[in-house]
Structure 1
């Protein structure tokens, strides 16, 4: 099904006034993503985390990376732009995921009105059409949902790295330029103490009933903790959750 038609059906099947607001806001941010690609030459990816869809705009930098689209823009039924991510070396890609996970949870902890005040800036390598690698500046912005407490859109911008800086990525306050280096010190705030307990037992191979008996809680509570863990770590299953948590030093 065409993504635009799918989104129209999803949003407008809700309260009609809210549905129209979603569509209008989505068009506004799609226009912003398109403008970045036209003015800065970036490869811009706007991902809708509610409908699992992405809108991609191929600026001049796309030619260096061998990315082409007949109209210069396109849409995919996923929030993972695989054909772009495949250009990033595996070691850089996993580091990118971990950094973005820290930033995602940093933004979620902010008061709702401040969640659009920060962006994530990092550097990574990407393969070019010649097979060489170039350093790329990656910027990430989150847009909160206008009607609830979730994060709705993610805007990723890929452009040539025009200047270098020591260390990895950092959060930047957009109004002042103040840098917030999240690093490993923020890892412990991602999961609650109880969620870490549950994840440690999952990592040991215990099933939900065994975890419930060990912690003297109900199986339903264990299931709720499992879902929260997957959401906070932005993974699909418990195996991935344990792997990411180990890399972050949580378990």
Structure 2
């Protein structure tokens, strides 16, 4: 394989998974503003098409739990890719271990861990060819356990160690492996999905919190990493709102 960095006159290429809303959509916009041609990948093609039209990107229907769809994404991107944002994921439920639904945990694993693995494997050659970067969106759920977080803490920890292992395995090769670990981010869907559409439970997560993070705050971190020189690796960036001192200590009015 030829390992040639992107030429100055070539448009850089980025892939964003989970791009239909939240952090993914905000990051796609931020990367497009930096001049990237963004391949927006997610399951909901209608929302993706609107986003791609807005940023002059490419909408690709892709469920990261389906290998054939991930392969099709990689084929559409082609032989060179400067940045992959492994963002597809999410939490399902917040039950204690004693009553946790095994199916919820399996769903989280397939999306957050196995899905991220599929995307990383499928695009690794293209990223290396461009001397590019992977950015893994994990969570402060990987920083420490909390009550009701056994499943989500587990899958985000697995994703974290996937990124760490990949960085070690690729040492000496022209690929950056970076991680962003967000704390409390108020998006329209994350908590609503976690609590199976229960708006009251979703709203309670952010009740009384002075300025939780928003998707654009994480997108700015993605944008910043994307602009760094190819020898600069951000191993892990932990970002929380000022009101959140830890996963379990949050200042509320």
TM range (shorter): under 0.3
Q: TM-score, normalised by structure 2?
A: 0.26
Structure 1 or 2, whichever has the larger Rg, is 1
**Structure having the larger proportion of residues in strand:** 1
Which has the bigger relative contact order, CA under 8 A and spacing at least 6?
Answer: 2
Normalising by the residue count of structure 1, what TM-score does the alignment of the two structures yield?
Answer: 0.26
